A and B are shown apart, each in its own frame.
Chain A
Amino acid sequence: MNANVRRNWFLQGIVSVGDCGLFFVAVLGALPKSLRYWRETCRQVWFVGAMSLVIVMTCGLFVGMVLALQLYYTLSIFGGTAALGTVVALSLFRELGPVITALLVAGRAGTAVTAEIGLMRATDQLDAMSMMAVDPLAYVASPRFLAGVVAMPLLACVFNAMGIFGGHLVGVTWLGLDNGTFWGNMTATVDLRKDILEGLYKSIVFGGVVSLIAVFQGYTAPPTSEGVAYSTTRTVVFSSIVILAFDFVMTTFMT
């Protein structure tokens, strides 16, 4: 019986991945129609993006600062502290910027989107839209998906910029590294296409994944308070796992 339960659990997992895939196709299919609701998309970009700025900027600053501090210590063992700017910038652009931003957005905006859509489902608002001949996929799901794809790379850029600022603050202002060395090594090594843009591609994919999971979980949440709460938790868990897994896969292909 135990094996049976486990197999059911496994099967259910596969079924929900399949459901999510079909939902993704449906959301993509509704995208052209959702362009009519560009105001709603705009509102969602504001909600996912602008409202996440404070947390993203604060975290970016601290991540840059701690990165500089830790790497300074490590580099000083090898007498290579001159490379601090390079290492901080590359770790931020290629890895930490996209990943941490995605995790933050999943925690802040993803959960909110899941809870919002789950409650809309529970209070029949989605059915009401459908009865008013407005496709809830086009009006609710697609704009939120699109907003995630648009906002995530921009947030990652802000995170990176704040991280560089934080790294500079610690490395140059506090630890007394030469300003020119900090920037000079960085600019000599960081490549616009290979480092910054590849980080951005990652962010765009993460934006899509996080908002898809959030919208899907909200859409399929059981219309009860436990159901919505459980789905919100699952948004964070699944988003985090998928972000890190995709990060590994994409890094393998890009480098």
Chain B
Amino acid sequence: MSAAPAKSESSADALVRVSGLRTRIGSKTIFDGLDLGVPRGSITAIMGPSGTGKTTLLRHLSGQLRPDAGSVVVDGEEVTNLSRAGLFALRERIGYLFQNSALLTDFSVFENVAFPLRQHTNLPETLIRNIVLTKLQAVGLRGAARLMPSELSGGMARRVALARAIVFDPMLILYDEPFVGLDPIALNQVLRLIRTLNKTLGITSILVAHELAAIRQVADRVYLIANGKLVAQGAPDELEHQDSPWTRQFFGGEADGPVPFHYPAPDYASELGFGRGAR
């Protein structure tokens, strides 16, 4: 799992390819010429300081947000040019795990997982039941089928959301902060699921996360984004030993570095009323 084969693989058979991505939201520049590729069947982690637009990137990939410039190609289709119908067709092949699970509060766990099936197919009830129970079994929550989302813990809700995301056996799953707010047990459960889904079903996974330890266990490849650009990439172990100020600060956990501790502000002394020459 060294960097070289992954690189050649990504250029040859990339499920997702982003090039020259530029986005501004309001007056803030989120991406300023971002390029990256995700090979088929891999688990790719996207890391970066808070506010660098990692979630925005996932929204670009799923076509929820259109960039100002650049191209996003998913499975050979240019997402930025797709019509609404084309986008919806593509999304049926993409699973998306929201940060807060986004279960439909009106429906039970079973109905939540069955929701995409009911909306897009006319399958008989017994078949729907079988598919839903299979998916719930896969995430270990078949027994919770009758519960309502309000009765679930955060980790359970996320596993239900995962079951819902894989109900159509997608080619790609986008995980938005899948580990946030989970206790170590739930975190390991989710981690195991991500790995199992990738290994057994060959689902390509892109995950946005901060948890270094978790990512080291699961990811084949890590992209580090900062200031709207790709600042480092490679396998997790390799990246940790790379000698760039970004990786040093990020993986070393230093408070100050390329990402400043202080939010941009006028000169401290002058703001407090001491002139530069006062001393």
B92 (CB) vs chain A CBs: closest residue: A133
Is there contact, CB below 8 Å, between A130 and B64? yes
Q: Chain A residues near B98: list those with CB within 8 A.
A: 124, 127-128
Known: A124-B102, A127-B102. A132 touches B64 (CB 8 A): no
A39 to chain B, nearest CB (A): 10
B246 within 8 A of A: no
B130 within 8 A of A: no
Partner of B99, one of A124, A125, A132: A124
Known: A127-B64, A127-B98. A133 touches B104 (CB 8 A): no
Residue interface bits B84-117, CB-to-A below 8 A is 1, else 0:
0000110110101011101111000000000110
A25 within 8 A of B: no
Partner of A125, one of B94, B104, B119, B120: B104
Is there contact, CB below 8 Å, between A128 and B102? yes
User: Nearest 3 CB-CB pairs, A to B?
Assistant: A128-B102, A124-B102, A133-B88
6 A-B residue pairings within 8 Å (CB atoms):
A124-B99, A125-B105, A128-B98, A128-B161, A132-B115, A133-B89
Residue interface bits B221-253, CB-to-A below 8 A is 1, else 0:
000000000000000000000000000000000
Instruction: Give complex CA distance A135, B119 in Å.
Output: 10
B62 within 8 A of A: yes
A125-B105, A128-B102, A128-B104 are known; give 15 further A-B pairs, CB within 8 A: A123-B105, A124-B102, A127-B102, A128-B96, A128-B161, A129-B104, A131-B62, A132-B116, A132-B119, A133-B89, A133-B92, A133-B119, A133-B120, A134-B115, A139-B119
Is there contact, CB below 8 Å, between B89 and A131? no
Give A67-99 interface residues, CB cut-off 8 Å to B: none
Residues of B within 8 Å of A, CB-based: how many?
21
B262 to chain A, nearest CB (A): 27
Q: Chain B residues near A125: list those with CB within 8 A.
A: 102-105
Give A107-130 interface residues, CB cut-off 8 Å to B: 119-120, 123-125, 127-130
A46 to chain B, nearest CB (A): 13
Is there contact, CB below 8 Å, between B91 and A133? yes
Is there contact, CB below 8 Å, between A134 and B119? yes
Q: Chain A residues near B115: list those with CB within 8 A.
A: 132, 134
A45 to chain B, nearest CB (A): 15
Instruction: Give complex CA distance A124, B157 in Å.
Output: 14
Is there contact, CB below 8 Å, between A123 and B102? yes
Known: A125-B105, A127-B64. A132 touches B91 (CB 8 A): yes
Partner of B94, one of A120, A128, A131: A131
B30 to chain A, nearest CB (A): 18
A244 to chain B, nearest CB (A): 33
Instruction: Give complex CA distance A139, B119 in Å.
Output: 10
Give A153-207 interface residues, CB cut-off 8 Å to B: none
Q: Chain B residues near A127: list those with CB within 8 A.
A: 64, 98, 102
Known: A131-B62, A132-B116. A124 touches B100 (CB 8 A): yes
